[in-house]
Structure formats: structure tokens, C-alpha cells
């Protein structure tokens, strides 16, 4: 499985550290995934069958060891002798208080893109100066919230936002650090819904018609903001990392133009997130080490080419921090066979806990968590299952839509009602994009590490679903209150 070992030169505080990085596929399931003596998949030393007994399904499982490894890989590999760096976790991938606390304890900064994410991150105890506030339509209240709590940097998306920040910061007697979000006109090869760098994008200031230059000029003229640098994010789930070389070329080229035009050298460059991850055994994303090497080479080359002086580079990974650290455990219910046409496995969740297959045609891999006996280490995702995988199934959810699909056409051994199905790589953009469609309570999130498991987010109850509902008319009574005691249906 391993193609080979390459030595990556990561540089730490001027000292050369030889970092071994696997050339070849990254993990698909969490790195602690094994098959135990009972033939069950275990993650973080916790048997999935026991997790089901303790916490029920559907269940999001987060492997702390994998999250820590990803954070440390970023921090180790993005250390350069000639450029400073900062790793900012993109909280939108999975924004819960314990996750924010984990990335904080690993030494990352964090970004938010709404008041709600900002609230969660502040609640987690994150230092405000390590928070980067994004968003293409921040409301007045959200901007004020950020300024009230002194977030470190606003990533300014448009002229109105710039004016509002300047105005409120002025009232407070603050000088607020900002970066400008630039749309560099670069299309990443990824699903069109998650491309963000193209000229027609809704985000940021484009080079087209000199708008980005006007934004720089306006920011420099605003009394109550300090323009520290530029930001760009071109998309997500990117496999062809060479596109970052084009991005750095475009951005440093613009920094050169700003210097020529405004006489100011902008020294901080944020190139967003976007590194792809492994969802299927055949996926071959770049490693974090390869990504860092490319960014470093490109910075060296392009700062010379455009005669600019970049002091610090910022990276904003979301998916590549949490994606493979997470997996979702379901219980198989109805198994429907349409002879010669299709075999369906219906699981007890679906598009409410993972909208990605429906929204982006995202592909996933699945395993039978309680019947996998052949090999002991399956983090690479190639679990050989005890019985031959000779049946083609489509795994669907329990929602009232034909499009409610998790995996189309996967080969598995015969599946029966009650089997536990583990879907890999669901750590990013699944819980954070989950919904209560069909009044399905949100699933619990459980963390695992060193043989221990504990709740990160509790499963919603039926009561939670109606907690914000009010009466038909003010003062009327809720008829159903007398019909049953809802406490017994948790």
C-alpha cells in the first residue's frame, strides 16, 4: 500500500528537522482504526459495537489522536527559515466547543464566518486575538460583536463592511487589524459549489476593473483600520495543489502592484484552506508535507519574481484537520432487494446528518463495523471483510426523498438488519451542515482516545425539536400536552 518514504525537510526555528512523510495515500479512516479480536472495528481503542450500545446510532465518532496528528503535521511542516507562518483552523468544517478547545490546545488559531461561529469559539475560551472573522455579508450586529470582543483580524469582503468596521472601530477608539479578501480569478478543479476564487465569485474584491486596488486604497485611507495583508481562498477538496503556485504568483504579483501604486508593501499573505482528503481508497490527495513544500517553493520563487517582501504566510485548513478524524456509525434497517435492479440498505440517519452526497455528489466508503476480520489495521481504508464483498448495495437514509443517498453502488458482504455500518471521512462538513429535516434529532458526537469515549455533543431529544415552538395563538393552550407525557420519548 505504501508507495515509498520521502524525507521532507521541515525547518523549525532555523533548525533543520528531518520529517518522515508517507508518499502515497493518507488515511481514510482515523489513524487509530483497527480490527479487534472480536472482528469489530475499533477507533481510538473503542469498539464500535460497544459505542453503539453506549450512545446509540447514528453516531458521529471523532478520533482525537487523528485531529492532533493533523494539527501537528501542519505546525511542523509549515515552518520555514525565510517566512513566518500561522495555521488557522477553519471552524466551519466542524464548529463545536470541544473541537475549538482541541485545536486551541494544539496551538492553532481559528477562523469564523458568522456571529454564531464567533459565539461558539469565544465560548470555547479562544483568545480573541487568534480569531479571524470572515463572511461576505456580515451584519452590523456581527461586526459590532467582533469589535466588542476584540477579534484579532477581520477579513474584509466588500466596501460596505470596510466602512462599517472603520465607523464602529472609530467610535470605540480602536485600530482594527484587517485583511482584504481578494478574488484572484483562479478556478480550482473541484465541485463548482466549492470553488470560490473565480472572477464571478460572490466573495471578495476582484482584480477585474481595478476593484481590488480601489479596496486597498480605501483601506489605507481609513483611519481606524490597519491593513495587515491580503487573503484569498480558491476552493475546497483540492487535489491538484499546483493551483496554489498560481495563486501565490497572482497574489504576490498584486502585492507588487500595490507597492508600485500606493507605496506600501503588504507583508502578510493568507492563502486560505482547501487541501483535499481521502474519501475513497483510490483517492490520492497531497500530503500536508507536500503542500507545505510547494507553498514554500512558490513563495521563494514569486517573492523574487515580483520583488516583494512577504514576512508571513497564513493557511486556513478545515477539512484536512477534521475530515478523516471523523466517521459515522449507523444501524442498518430495511434491506430491500429489487431482483436484477438494485439492493438498498436503509440506515437510521441520512441527508440530515450528511447532506454532502446530495449536494455535491460526494462519494464515501463504508464498512460493516461488526464483521471485519481479515486484517488488523484499516486506517488506509482498505478493510478486507471476513466474507467476500460480493453484493452491490446502495446505502440510503430514512428521509422522505429519493435523493436521500449516502453511497451509491458499494460492494459489501451480505448485509442484514441490525448490522452496523461505519461511513468513513465524515468529520468535516457533516455535523456542521446537519439539519432537523423530517424532525430527525441531531445525532450525538462522541470523542474517543486511548480506549476511552465521552460525549462531545449530546444527541438531541424530541423535546429539543419543539423547544422553540410556540402556540398557535398567544395565550392558547398546547392541546397535545394533555395527550401524552413526552418525557418518555427521548
Please give the positions annotated as active site. Answer: 400
In terms of phi and psi (left: phi > 0; alpha: psi -120 to 50; beta: otherwise), the region of 428 is beta
Q: Indicate the residue among 138 and 371 with the shorter CB distance to ligand LLP.
A: 138
Tell me which stretch binds ligand LLP (CB under 6 A): 89-97, 115-123, 292-300, 366-374.
89-97
**Least distance from C-beta 63 to ligand LLP, angstroms?**
18
Q: Indicate the residue among 55 and 78 with the shorter CB distance to ligand LLP.
A: 78
Contact in structure between 280 and 323 (CB atoms under 8 Å) = no
Contact in structure between 389 and 411 (CB atoms under 8 Å) = yes
Tell me which stretch binds ligand LLP (CB under 6 A): 12-20, 21-29, 231-239, 297-305.
231-239
Q: Indicate the residue among 121 and 428 with the shorter CB distance to ligand LLP.
A: 428
The set of cell numbers assigned to 315 is 493557511
**Least distance from C-beta 209 to ligand LLP, angstroms?**
23
Answer for which of 303, 320, 324, 426 binds ligand LLP (CB under 6 A) is 320
Answer for which of 52, 233, 268, 399 binds ligand LLP (CB under 6 A) is 233
Percent of the chain that is helix, strand, coil (3-state, to 5): 30, 25, 45
Contact in structure between 114 and 142 (CB atoms under 8 Å) = yes
Instruction: Tell me if 360 contacts ligand LLP by CB under 6 A.
Output: yes
Q: Indicate the residue among 236 and 460 with the shorter CB distance to ligand LLP.
A: 236
**Least distance from C-beta 27 to ligand LLP, angstroms?**
17
Q: Indicate the residue among 115 and 318 with the shorter CB distance to ligand LLP.
A: 318
**Least distance from C-beta 89 to ligand LLP, angstroms?**
9
Between CA 451 and CA 1 the distance in angstroms is 27
Between CA 432 and CA 428 the distance in angstroms is 8
The set of cell numbers assigned to 54 is 453506549
Instruction: Tell me if 134 contacts ligand LLP by CB under 6 A.
Output: yes
Binding mask 366-405 for ligand LLP (x = CB under 6 A): ----------------------------------------
Answer for which of 429, 444, 456, 459 binds ligand LLP (CB under 6 A) is 429
Instruction: Tell me if 278 contacts ligand LLP by CB under 6 A.
Output: no
Q: Indicate the residue among 222 and 320 with the shorter CB distance to ligand LLP.
A: 320
- Beta-sheet strands, E only, within 173-262: 176-183, 205-206, 225-231
Instruction: Tell me if 239 contacts ligand LLP by CB under 6 A.
Output: no
**Least distance from C-beta 70 to ligand LLP, angstroms?**
11
Nearest to 319 by CA among 67, 20, 60, 25: 67
The residues, ordered by sequence, that sit 6+ positions from 107 with a Cβ below 8 Å of its Cβ are 71, 75
Maximum separation of any 2 CA atoms in the chain, in Å: 76
State CA 390 to chain mean position distance. 34
Instruction: Tell me if 317 contacts ligand LLP by CB under 6 A.
Output: yes
Q: Which residues pair with 84 in a beta bridge?
A: 312
The set of cell numbers assigned to 333 is 434497517
Nearest to 234 by CA among 249, 220, 222: 249
**Least distance from C-beta 93 to ligand LLP, angstroms?**
5
Between CA 261 and CA 4 the distance in angstroms is 48
Q: For binding to ligand LLP (CB under 6 A), which residues are involved?
A: 90, 92-93, 134, 194, 233, 236-237, 272-275, 316-320, 356, 360, 428-429
Amino acid at each position: 500500500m505504501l508507495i515509498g518514504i520521502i524525507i521532507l525537510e521541515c525547518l523549525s526555528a532555523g533548525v533543520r528537522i528531518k520529517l518522515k512523510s508517507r508518499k502515497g495515500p493518507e488515511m481514510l479512516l482515523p489513524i487509530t482504526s483497527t480490527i479487534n479480536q472480536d472482528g469489530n472495528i475499533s477507533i481510538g481503542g473503542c469498539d464500535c459495537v460497544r459505542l453503539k450500545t453506549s450512545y446509540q446510532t447514528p453516531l458521529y465518532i471523532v478520533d482525537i489522536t487523528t485531529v492532533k496528528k493533523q494539527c501537528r503535521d501542519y505546525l511542523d511542516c509549515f515552518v520555514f527559515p525565510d517566512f513566518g507562518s500561522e495555521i488557522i483552523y477553519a471552524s466551519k468544517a466542524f464548529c463545536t466547543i470541544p473541537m475549538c478547545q482541541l485545536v486551541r490546545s494544539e496551538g492553532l488559531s481559528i477562523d469564523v464566518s458568522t456571529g454564531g461561529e464567533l459565539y461558539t469559539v469565544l465560548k470555547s475560551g479562544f483568545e480573541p486575538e487568534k480569531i479571524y472573522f470572515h463572511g461576505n455579508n456580515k451584519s452590523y450586529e456581527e461586526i459590532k460583536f467582533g469589535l466588542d470582543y476584540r477579534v484579532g483580524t477581520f477579513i474584509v469582503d466588500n466596501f460596505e463592511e470596510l466602512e462599517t468596521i472603520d465607523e464602529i472601530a472609530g467610535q470605540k477608539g480602536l485600530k482594527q487589524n484587517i485583511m482584504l479578501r481578494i478574488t484572484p480569478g483562479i478556478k480550482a478543479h473541484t465541485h463548482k459549489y466549492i470553488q470560490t476564487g473565480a472572477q464571478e465569485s460572490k466573495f471578495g474584491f476582484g482584480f477585474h476593473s481595478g476593484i481590488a486596488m480601489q479596496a486597498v486604497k480605501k483601506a489605507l485611507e481609513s483611519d481606524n483600520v490597519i491593513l495587515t495583508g491580503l487573503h484569498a481562498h480558491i476552493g475546497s477538496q483540492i487535489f491538484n495543489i499546483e493551483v496554489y503556485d498560481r495563486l501565490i504568483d497572482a497574489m504576490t504579483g498584486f502585492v507588487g502592484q500595490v507597492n508600485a501604486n500606493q507605496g506600501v508593501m503588504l507583508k502578510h499573505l493568507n492563502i486560505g484552506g482547501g487541501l483535499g482528503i481521502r474519501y475513497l481508497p483510490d483517492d490520492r490527495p497531497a500530503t500536508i508535507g507536500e503542500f507545505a513544500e510547494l507553498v514554500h517553493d512558490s513563495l521563494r520563487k514569486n517573492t523574487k519574481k515580483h520583488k516583494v517582501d512577504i514576512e508571513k504566510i497564513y493557511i486556513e485548513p478545515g477539512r484536512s484537520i477534521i475530515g478523516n478524524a471523523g466517521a459515522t456509525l449507523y444501524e442498518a434497517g430495511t434491506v430491500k432487494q429489487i431482483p436484477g435492479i438494485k439492493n438498498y440498505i436503509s440506515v437510521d440517519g441520512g441527508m440530515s446528518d450528511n447532506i454532502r452526497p446530495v449536494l455535491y455528489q460526494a462519494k464515501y466508503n463504508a464498512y460493516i463495523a461488526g464483521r471485519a476480520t481479515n486484517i488488523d489495521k484499516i486506517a488506509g481504508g482498505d478493510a478486507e471483510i471476513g466474507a467476500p464483498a460480493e453484493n452491490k448495495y446502495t446505502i440510503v437514509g430514512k428521509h422522505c426523498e429519493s435523493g436521500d443517498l449516502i453511497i451509491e453502488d458499494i460492494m459489501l458482504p451480505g448485509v442484514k438488519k441490525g448490522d452496523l455500518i461505519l461511513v468513513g471521512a465524515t468529520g468535516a462538513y457533516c455535523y456542521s451542515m446537519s439539519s432537523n429535516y423530517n424532525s430527525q434529532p441531531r445525532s450525538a458526537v462522541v470523542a474517543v482516545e486511548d480506549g476511552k469515549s465521552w460525549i462531545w455533543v449530546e444527541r438531541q431529544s424530541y423535546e429539543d425539536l419543539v423547544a422553540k415552538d410556540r402556540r398557535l395563538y398567544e395565550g392558547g393552550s398546547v392541546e397535545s400536552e394533555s395527550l401524552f407525557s413526552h418525557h418518555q420519548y427521548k
